[in-house]
Amino acid sequence: MDAVIEVKDLVKEYIIVKKESGLRGSVKSLLFPKKTKFNGVNGISFSIAPGEIVGYIGPNGAGKSTTIKMLTGILHPTAGSIQVCGISPQADRKAVVRKLGVVFGQRTQLYWDLRLGESFELLRRIYQIDQQSYDNNLAILTEVLKLQDFINTPVRQLSLGQRMRGDIAAAMLHSPSILFLDEPTIGLDADAKHAIRNFIKEINRTRSVTVILTTHDLDDVEQLCSRIIVVNNGKIVEDGPIDSIIHKLTPHRMLVVELQEPCDDLTTPHAEIIKQEGLRIWYQFEKERISASELIAALSQKLPIQDISVKEPNVEDAIRVVYKTTATV
């Protein structure tokens, strides 16, 4: 199937002014600024198929927002090419914007002084959405995002969770086929996160909306994304299905053993003890070298075991490995 987003060798160069220390340094930098070039995004390529939910993740300063801003036409790339539904955002931003819904968790596209419903109405006029599809969309969005209790509240009086639901509805009013979400659950309580995650799943399932999500909340990633693209220092360091990235990066599993009574020798040649608290011991083992059941059998021979559990590595364990190994690249 043809990609809805195709990015090739994307580069964004920023010019930064290096400040010298002290008052004299500050004055000197002001009069004779020392400019250096720096690539916030440094040669990124990927393609996204229709209906995918992709987590675009990476540590602070990795280049996520810079990429999203270029995809939505806010920033101009220094080099490389972008196609969104076959259109370049640089060549025809208006046409691309019609295909996109964009939500920046830290900012709002709603109007502070208007009621939420009035903000939507204003966006209807700006986007020139025909009345019937607007009415249909608003009815669905109001129900799924549970907006009815605050649709007549001025935007400035909305709580963060209500405002975020309003912003997501605003981004979906013109029925975009692609939704960019930048930190959509930041600062929200568990209920609001749940509502937003459900909504994302729902629009993806029922309308095949393609979703690109940047987030530091790995629960978002685990619950929503089938694929992750991990960026660091402006480059892609991993791209693929979550399960295979976890499998590749975390060859270890954990066996947690609870003993009936203290024992002198807890060691085994098959696993490493990485933590002990009272009668509870955490053994780390390589899943390629020994299976959990073989390790349990070996330990049962020598230890009086009360209880046992196996902990599988999750996306957080894998991401920690990526960030650690690419921090200084």
Positions that interact with ligand ATP (CB under 6 A): 14, 16, 40, 58, 60-66
Query: Of the two residues 139 and 160, which places its CB atom closer to ligand ATP in the complex?
Result: 160
Residue 267 in contact with residue 299, Cβ under 8 Å? no
The least CB distance from residue 27 to ligand ATP, in Å, is 22
Considering the complex, what minimum distance in angstroms separates the CB of residue 96 from ligand ATP? 19
Q: How far is the CB of 184 from ligand ATP (least distance, A)?
A: 13
Task: Specify the residue, 147 or 211, whose C-beta has the smaller distance to ligand ATP.
Answer: 211
Smallest distance, ligand ATP to C-beta of residue 216, A: 7
If the CB atoms of residues 105 and 313 are measured against ligand ATP, the closer one turns out to be 105
Rg of the chain in Å (alpha carbons): 25
Nearer to ligand ATP (CB atom), residue 273 or residue 327:
327
Measure CA 220 to chain center: 7
Q: How far is the CB of 303 from ligand ATP (least distance, A)?
A: 45
Nearer Cβ to ligand ATP, position 173 or 228?
228
Residue 193: partners with Cβ closer than 8 Å, 6 or more residues away: 185, 217, 219, 220
Residues whose CB falls within 8 Å of the CB of residue 170, separated by 6 or more in sequence, listed in order? 109, 110, 119, 120, 123
Q: Whole-number minimum distance, CB 296 to ligand ATP, in Å?
A: 41
CB of 50 to ligand ATP, least distance (A): 25
Q: Nearest residue to ligand ATP, using CB?
A: 40
Question: Whose Cβ is closer to ligand ATP: residue 66's or residue 250's?
Answer: 66
Please count the CA atoms within 13 angstroms of the CA of 136 that sit on its side-chain side. 7
Q: Which is nearer to ligand ATP, 63 or 166 (CB)?
A: 63
Closest distance to ligand ATP from the beta carbon of 60 (Å): 3
For ligand ATP, the closer of residues 10 and 48 by Cβ is: 10
Nearer to ligand ATP, 137 or 232 (CB): 232
3-state secondary structure the chain: CCCCEEEEEEEEEEEEEECCCHHHHHHHHHHCCEEEEEEEEEEEEEEECCCCEEEEECCCCCCHHHHHHHHCCCCCCCEEEEEECCECCCCCHHHHHHHEEEEECCCCCCCCCCEHHHHHHHHHHHHCCCHHHHHHHHHHHHHHCCCCCCCCCEHHHCCHHHHHHHHHHHHHCCCCCEEEEECCCCCCCHHHHHHHHHHHHHHHHHHCCEEEEECCCHHHHHHHCCEEEEEECCEEEEEEEHHHHHHHHCCEEEEEEEECCCCCCCCECCEEEEEEECCEEEEEEECCCCCHHHHHHHHHHHCCEEEEEEECCCHHHHHHHHHHHHCCC
CB of 65 to ligand ATP, least distance (A): 3
Identify residue 135 by its one-letter amino acid code: D
